[in-house]
Amino acid sequence: MGKKHREYIFDPQTLSYRENIVSFRQRTRRLLLSFAGSFLVALFYLWLYISVFHLELPKTTMLKKQNAQWCSKMSIQNKRMDDCRQRLEGLRERDDGVYRAIFGLPEISAAERYSGIGGINRYAYLLENDHTGLLSSSVRKLDFLRKMACVQSKSYDEVGEMARRSGDIASCVPAVPPFYPGVSYHMSSPFGYRTDPIYHNTKMHTGQDFAMQPGNSLYAVGDGVVEVVRYELYGYGNSVIINHGFGFKTRYAHMKVITVQPGQAVKRGDCIGQSGNSGKSTGPHLHFEVIYRGNYVNPLNYMDMDMPLDEYAQMVKAREEETGMTSDLIQPVHRDRKTIRRRGKK
Ligand SMILES: [Zn+2]
């Protein structure tokens, strides 16, 4: 125990001061009481300040100011991201409409471009304290931009690869008749709508028919890979589909003999078999289709029927020398000399 605390109390009866000794416990109690009293008064003032006068504490004011600054910064970032997105959309449009189109690449579907974006649950953790929604919208936009940029960059890689191979386009795109133009043939059913020769209803004829005797050699009209080899009793009969890349495919139908395998790489002028009369056919002919990006197009736009015969023969010969696959198929079966002589003069 420390020194005893004394206090002097004025006694009005004796008109003198009387000594009073205050115990430590009393002093402590007084101290606590005065502390509690001031605390209550402080609380009362705080209540008046906030609830009655609707005033803010300095710290609240400062935080609000800071918050407003952050919000405006976030809004600016959001606007910048919108701007970035617009620019990326511009790149996407040019990519699908120009670059990919030039090289016959299919458009990238929206599902592919925007997959994995969105999903409310992914951003649930942000929503708890994000009353303005600015933060979650920013994160969402950033994710979106990242995904778009990633897909765009991959697409450019693809286009770049195609550009490097652009020299191949000339050799891949269908450009010659699928048979030696010196053989006896005539163009029977043209491409387009026609009355079906068997069912007599109007139907789209998806290719060009060349009536000719069976056994004429058929040649790949451009470089590519044999995609389908089919042997059917109906429909196309024995048929071959070659995928030339750059969006082009060709189909050779009603064949008699097929000499290629699926997956086999072929070059323009390679023999793929012989014409015939298999499948749904009213007479021996070659049904030839050109398919560009999934649509049937007029095959006559992809060949020069009047190309010099020796040029065609040279092309086939060069291929035969390279592949070592000698065939006398260049000698047309049931050759019509008159036709050849007349055509040869051109
Ligand atoms: Zn046909």
Distance 245 CA to ligand 1 centre (A): 23
Cα angle 105, 171, 214; round to 5:
105
The more confident residue out of 171 and 329 is 171
Statement to judge: residues 328 and 310 lie in one domain: yes
Is the residue at 66 inside a domain?
no
Q: What is the helix (H) or strand (E) element at residue 218, kind and residue range?
A: strand 217-219
Q: How many CB atoms neighbour CB 297 within 10 A?
A: 17
Distance 202 CA to ligand 1 centre (A): 14
Q: Residue 337's pLDDT is what? A: 42
Distance 114 CA to ligand 1 centre (A): 41
Distance 206 CA to ligand 1 centre (A): 7
Confidence tier at 33 by pLDDT (50, 70, 90)? very high
Q: Residue 119's pLDDT is what? A: 58
Is the residue at 65 inside a domain?
no
Least confident of 14-28, 103-117, 162-176, 268-282: 103-117
Q: Residue 163's pLDDT is what? A: 80
Q: Residue 325's pLDDT is what? A: 78
Distance 253 CA to ligand 1 centre (A): 8
In whole angstroms, give the CA distance from residue 296 to residue 207.
7
Q: What is the mean pLDDT of residues 61-67?
A: 92
Is the residue at 63 inside a domain?
no
- Class of residue 2 by CB neighbours under 10 A (exposed 0-12, middle 13-18, buried 19+): exposed
User: Which CATH number belongs to the domain containing residue 184 in this structure?
Assistant: 2.70.70.10
Distance 2 CA to ligand 1 centre (A): 121
224-234: pLDDT as tens digits:
999 999 999 98
Confidence tier at 8 by pLDDT (50, 70, 90)? confident
Q: Residue 110's pLDDT is what? A: 82
Q: Residue 101's pLDDT is what? A: 80
Distance 265 CA to ligand 1 centre (A): 26
Q: Residue 144's pLDDT is what? A: 86
Q: Residue 277's pLDDT is what? A: 94
Question: Can you read off the two tokens belonging to residue 303?
Answer: 């060949």
Dihedral sign (CA 321, 323, 327, 328)? negative
Instruction: Please tell me the total count of domains within the chain.
Output: 3
Distance 165 CA to ligand 1 centre (A): 33
Pinpoint the alpha helices (H) of 95-199: 100-102, 110-114, 124-127, 134-164, 166-172
Distance 148 CA to ligand 1 centre (A): 44
Mean model confidence pLDDT for the chain: 85
Q: What is the mean pLDDT of residues 105-118?
A: 76
Distance 78 CA to ligand 1 centre (A): 58
Q: Residue 43's pLDDT is what? A: 94
CA distances from 63 to 59, 67, 69, 77, 233 (A): 6, 6, 10, 21, 82
Confidence tier at 341 by pLDDT (50, 70, 90)? very low
Is the residue at 313 inside a domain?
yes
Q: What is the mean pLDDT of residues 151-180?
A: 86
Q: Residue 271's pLDDT is what? A: 93
Q: What is the mean pLDDT of residues 319-339?
A: 62
In whole angstroms, give the CA distance from residue 86 to residue 99.
18
206-245: pLDDT as tens digits:
999 999 999 999 999 999 999 999 999 989 999 999 999 8
Q: Residue 131's pLDDT is what? A: 74
Statement to judge: residues 269 and 235 lie in one domain: yes
Confidence tier at 14 by pLDDT (50, 70, 90)? confident
pLDDT over threshold 60, residue 345:
no
Q: What is the helix (H) or strand (E) element at residue 247, kind and residue range?
A: none
Distance 212 CA to ligand 1 centre (A): 13
Is the residue at 59 inside a domain?
no
Statement to judge: residues 309 and 236 lie in one domain: yes
CA distances from 4 to 34, 95, 280 (A): 21, 94, 126
Is the residue at 245 inside a domain?
yes
Q: Residue 117's pLDDT is what? A: 62
Statement to judge: residues 92 and 45 lie in one domain: no
Statement to judge: residues 192 and 306 lie in one domain: yes
Statement to judge: residues 113 and 201 lie in one domain: no
Angle between helices 134-164 and 58-94 in degrees, nearest 10 = 20
Helix, strand, or coil here: 156?
helix
Is the residue at 58 inside a domain?
no
Amino acid at 104: G
Q: Structural domain of residue 33, as residue ranges?
A: 5-52
Contacts of 116 (CB under 8 A, 6+ apart): 147
Q: Residue 118's pLDDT is what? A: 57
Q: What is the mean pLDDT of residues 325-344?
A: 48
Tell me the whole-structure pTM to 2 decimals. 0.55
Distance 208 CA to ligand 1 centre (A): 6
pLDDT over threshold 70, residue 248:
yes
Q: Residue 333's pLDDT is what? A: 46
pLDDT over threshold 80, residue 343:
no
- Surrounding ion ligand 1 within 5 Å at CB are 207, 209, 287
Statement to judge: residues 45 and 114 lie in one domain: no
Statement to judge: residues 142 and 210 lie in one domain: no
